[in-house]
Amino acid sequence: MYLGLLTIMVAVGGVVRPSSVVTPNQQAGTDQAARGKGWARAVMSLRDRTLAVVSVAPLLLVLATTGLNSASVLASEDRLETGTVKFRTLAEEREFDGAVEAVMRSTISAQTAGEVIELPFDVNDFVPKGALIVRFDDVKQKARLDKAVAIEAEARARLAEAEEAFERENNLLQQGATSKAKHEAASANLKSTRAKLRLAEAAVAEARKEYEHTVVRAPYSGIVVERFVEIGEQLQIGQPLGTGLSLEELRIAVEVPARYIDRVRQRQEARIVLPGEANAPVPIESLTIFPYADPKTHTFTVRVNLARGDHGLYPGMLAKVAFTVGAVEELVVPTQAIVRRSELTGIYVVTADGRIVFRQIRPGRAADGWTVVLAGLDAGEEVALNPALAVIRLKQQVAGLGYE
């Protein structure tokens, strides 16, 4: 299309009738008046060609501009969908501050005495479940275990001898070849050796357990947050070794005033309020409500148990928890209609006569695709659900182009 227009421009500016072109050779031999008339015609022809080019140029500019802004023209033909500002019944909530806690946090203590010879992990290290945390010098424990095993072996041998003696005396008693006293003595000896074997077996189990305590392993996967010992220290039974916690299971402890605790206990509904709007909601598994109040603060402790997983929360952090205590009517607007321009939060309002007005609002909490409007809108007003298209319409409105 543009090539055709350029061809027309060239044709209009370049085609000249031969009779309109006057050269000095063609006017040779004529008088002075004819020569002046020919030069006048040439000047008029040049002016006509220039006017033709200038006349076509605006048309080309409009067509080029139309082609560049075709996306805007198509966007202006789209229908602008609107939503209605209205009242909806939402959950009435009360927010309270809470502290994030680790469900599994424990301090491990020494269960045997000895010298620390190995500490593979330090503070802030991740420890897999079953990994070695502390190793003690096990020379004494190994010696006690070997001694107990030897005593057990001796007890088993004594028991085998006692069983043979008893069996022999039992056969002789049936044949009448021995006295009843000897038979009873053999029986008592058998019972005694059996008891000694059980005692030896218990000593072996105790010695083996003490030997196993020379190696301390992690009871669950977690992070080392404190370490109380160093290599070379002599430890006694019960002395703390270190503290660890697991980040897989977390909870939030919240102090709830007594006037709300009955409604919280009845509804058993809560949500975690995180800073910012891009954060995904944190799933809650259950609520644990203490059956008694703190005598000093007169508040009830509520544990909000979070689902397993990484939610961007860590022990010691401060978090807000919103508990549902009833229902309330709130003025709401579709969340997709809200736009933010730097520090300004607003919405594009579509008036009854079709005009678009950008209005600043004060938003509240968001829930289920709706956002509470605290100020800036009235019930029944229509708002643009596509802010990008509303901007185009607003520019057209300001420019006076209009739209349907």
Q: Where are the domains of the chain?
A: 2-68, 82-89+330-399, 93-102+246-327, 110-244
**Whole-number pLDDT of residue 279:** 55
> What integer pLDDT is reported at residue 19 of this predicted model?
36
User: Which CATH number does the domain 110-244 belong to among 3.90.1200.10, 2.40.50.100, 2.60.40.1940, 3.40.50.1820?
Assistant: 2.40.50.100
Topology (CATH level 3) of domain 82-89+330-399: 2.40.420
Sign of CA dihedral 98, 99, 104, 105: negative
Torsion of CA 49, 51, 56, 59, to 10 degrees: 170
Per-residue model confidence as pLDDT tens digits over 248-281: 899 999 999 999 999 999 999 998 887 765 456 7
One-letter amino acid for residue 217 of the chain: R
pLDDT of the residue at 280? 67
Burial call 236-254: b when 16+ CB within 10 Å, e when fewer: eeeeebbbbbbbebbbbbb
222 touches 88 (CB < 8 A): no
Helix (H) or strand (E) run with residue 29 in it: none
Which of 37, 241, 40, 14 has its CA nearest to residue 121? 241
Whether the pTM exceeds 0.75: the reply is: no
Render pLDDT for 220-252 as a digit per residue (tens, 0 to 9). 999 999 999 999 999 999 999 999 999 989 999
pLDDT in tens, the chain (404 residues): 333 333 333 333 333 333 333 444 444 444 444 444 443 344 344 344 433 333 333 333 323 333 334 344 344 456 788 888 889 888 788 999 999 999 999 999 999 999 999 999 999 999 999 999 999 999 999 999 999 999 999 999 999 999 998 888 888 878 887 788 888 888 899 999 999 999 999 999 999 999 999 999 999 999 999 999 999 999 999 999 999 999 989 999 999 999 999 999 999 999 888 776 545 678 899 999 999 999 999 999 999 999 988 888 899 999 999 998 888 888 989 988 899 888 889 999 998 888 888 989 998 887 778 888 999 888 889 998 888 888 888 888 888 754 44
CATH class for the domain made up of 93-102+246-327 = mainly beta
Q: In what order do the strands lie in the sheet with 105-109?
A: 105-109, 240-245, 222-227, 126-127
pLDDT at 276: 61
Q: Which has the closest alpha carbon to 254: 236, 270, 243, 239?
A: 270
Length of the chain in terms of residues written: 404
Residue 297 CB neighbour total at 10 angstroms: 11
Q: What pLDDT, on a 0 to 100 scale, did the predictor assign at position 245?
A: 94
Give CA–CA dist 213/112, Å, rounded: 6
